[in-house]
Amino acid sequence: MTGSRATRMRRVAGGVIASAAVAFTTALLPTATAAAQPLDPAASPVTIQASCHVGQVPIVLANTWVRQGPGLGSPSLYTLTVGAGYRITAGPIDNDGIRWWKGHGNGLADGWTPEYNLSCR
């Protein structure tokens, strides 16, 4: 194979691989509009079923603050890191467009964390 033909074939192969990687990555990414829509139970006649329940110990999916109350404006008590367990003791309460569960990390004080950071979905 001549040098120019081999170079052309590498370029074509590289382009195909790059296109496939972009298509695959794009298909896996959620749309920005879907993530931006808050829960508003008053605006919808549909009842949203809770996926967590009291007594469950889900894993924390992302570093998350455990807050004094169920809301984004409530002061944080402490941070749980990815992979930590969170024992649910009460809830849910819907506030700020988010479903909140009361509970605690191992041996820590009870506080509130958003359901989207818990693995019980």
Q: State CA 43 to chain mean position distance.
A: 23
pLDDT at 104 (0 to 100): 94
- The Cα diameter of the chain in Å comes to 72
DSSP-derived 3-state class of residue 40: coil
pLDDT at 103 (0 to 100): 96
pLDDT at 120 (0 to 100): 84
pLDDT at 107 (0 to 100): 86
H runs (alpha helix) in 1-121: 3-28, 32-36
pLDDT at 10 (0 to 100): 56
pLDDT at 1 (0 to 100): 55
CATH assignment of 50-117?
Answer: 2.30.30.40
Tens digits of pLDDT across the chain (121 residues): 556 665 555 554 555 444 444 443 334 434 433 333 444 444 443 344 558 999 999 999 999 999 999 999 999 999 999 999 999 999 999 999 999 999 999 889 999 999 999 998 6
pLDDT at 5 (0 to 100): 62
